[in-house]
Amino acid sequence: MKLGVLFSGGKDSAYACHRAMEEEVACLITVLPSNPESYLFHTPNISLTSLQAEAAGLPQVTVPSRGVEEAEVADLSRAISLGVEQHGIEGVVTGAIRSVYQATRIQRVCHDLDLWCFNPLWQRDEEEHLEEIVSSGFRFLISGVSAAPLGEAWLGREVDGAALDELKAVARRHRMNPAGEGGEYETFVLDAPFFRKRIEVLGASREYRGDHGIYRIGEARLVQR
Amino acid sequence: MILVLDLSYRPGSLSADEFVSPVERIVREERYRTTIRHYTDPVHGDLASVDGAILCGTALKDFGYLEDLERFAWLPSFPRPVLGICAGMQVTVRIYGGDVHPETGIGMIGQQVVAPDPLLTGKDSFPAYELHCLSVTPPPSFRVLATSPSGVQAVRHRERPVYGVMFHPEVRNEWLIRRFLSLCRPGKRRTDALM
């Protein structure tokens, strides 16, 4: 079955893509919101998903979105329809874990378009999920934080085994979702088992205000793995 | 031991991650052993040793199980408790002589309990995650336990502990699966009892 993966560039959509390769991944699908407070879509460094698609050797379908709550669903539908037209996809894969809000909207869009919908990470234990991502060979960094326990020092930090232990401890202490499902943090994938090349960050800046921060990657390139 | 049955379009599909693994995790957390089978696998060898069976849901576009009902011919003679979830409810109701019809429910939807039963004790109404485009018309041998604006949501056989729920209890209503497990064989044959 040809599938399109809803791809934000973060760990969960990349891991969902990895799982979806058990079928056939025909394209990545990315909605590019101009609103940083997007309800449905992960936003920091979203424009760099094109570099990740290139690293994976997968075609990418993108559509811009104003990031206004219900208009986002129409934008998502448009993006998925392009996946059908351009790559013949028969189904969509998401990296949703707990978000009933996100899953409901995507399920409705797929139902309206008569497409299959797969959520291979659905209801996973978040700690086990994080451990599996790291142990499977994914490399990712923290590209945004929106919760007080995750201060400026986390911005740009790569989540290796030691960082993962810290993240889990912080999450337990503050009753935070360890996978960042509540938007507590965002991630950017530098390398994945299905990448042909990995991403090297050459330049980035940190913006941190209140409890919110973004690690904005200004320059990055593909290098041999 | 609980039989967890995968009703999706093929064994080991992406749908199993979504509809079977979450149920299996809850069963494990309740310290029951599980036997996971695809509905096309022969299960007769398992039936004598399991304390209950859970038939899991499928993706919205997946109806293959309804074309293959003879695979579930063991259900009426299985003496232990059964919980059919979504697709599993449709199969259970069909096997006992009821029917299915198009009716869609997607998302968190309010459930109204309409008849008392140990599975729903203490619940008059609650929100639940629905993901279906078929609903059921249960046969006379079943009682309707709960409804929502998108059709019958919970049923039970009038004489046997055979249940069906159209919503997905593994999402935000795990208590229902845990409660079903307590009906299977309270305090016995659990892994803690064996260790």
What are the backbone dihedrals phi and psi of residue A136, each rounded to the nearest 5 degrees, phi first?
A: -80, -5
Architecture of domain A2-118: 3-Layer(aba) Sandwich (3.40)
Q: How confident is the model at residue A104 (pLDDT cuts 50, 70, 90)?
A: very high
Task: Choose, out of B17, B24, B173, the residue to mutate when testing the contact with A (most A CBs < 10 Å).
Answer: B17
- How many structural domains are present in chain B? 1
Q: Spell out a b/e string for B86-116, using b for 16 or more CB atoms within 10 Å of the CB, else e.
A: bbbbbbbbbbbebebeeeebbbebebebeee
**Which among B17, B60, B62 has CB closest to A107?**
B60
What are B36's strand-pairing partners? B4
Q: Which fold has domain A136-224?
A: putative n-type atp pyrophosphatase, domain 2 (3.90.1490)
Report the alpha-carbon angle B59-A130-A97, nearest 5.
Answer: 30
Say which of B86, B132, B157, B184 is annotated catalytic: B86
- For B20-171, where are the alpha helices, taking DSSP H only? 21-29, 44-47, 87-95
**Residue B22 to residue A111, Cβ atoms within 8 A:** no
Distance of CA B135 to the CA centre of its chain: 14
Q: Which pLDDT score is estimated for A148?
A: 84
Token pair in block for residue A127: 């700690």
Residue B70: other Cβ atoms inside 10 A: 7
Domain of B31: which CATH number? 3.40.50.880
Residue A67 pLDDT > 70, yes or no? no
**What percent of chain A clears pLDDT 90, i.e. is strictly above it?**
81
Residue A36's pLDDT band (boundaries 50, 70, 90)? low
Q: Where are the domains of chain A?
A: 2-118, 136-224
Q: What is the pTM for the complete model shown?
A: 0.94
Residue-level pLDDT, tens digit, chain B, 195 residues = 999 999 999 999 999 999 999 999 999 999 999 999 999 999 989 999 999 999 999 999 999 999 999 999 999 999 999 999 999 999 999 999 999 999 999 999 999 999 999 999 999 999 999 999 999 999 999 999 999 999 999 999 999 999 999 999 999 999 999 999 999 975 554 444 333
Of A100, A115, A122, the CB nearest to B22: A122
B130, B157, B170, B184: the active-site residue: B170
By Cβ distance, the residue of A23, A108, A119 closest to B18 is A119
The token duo for B127 is: 């929100």
- Chains A and B form CB pairs within 8 A to the count of 60
User: In chain B, which residue's Cα lies nearest the Cα of A17?
Assistant: B14
Q: Decide: helix, strand or coil at residue B165.
A: strand
Contact A122 B107 (CB under 8 A): no
Half-sphere exposure of A20 (CA within 13 A, CB side): 31
Q: What's the domain range around B95? A: 2-194
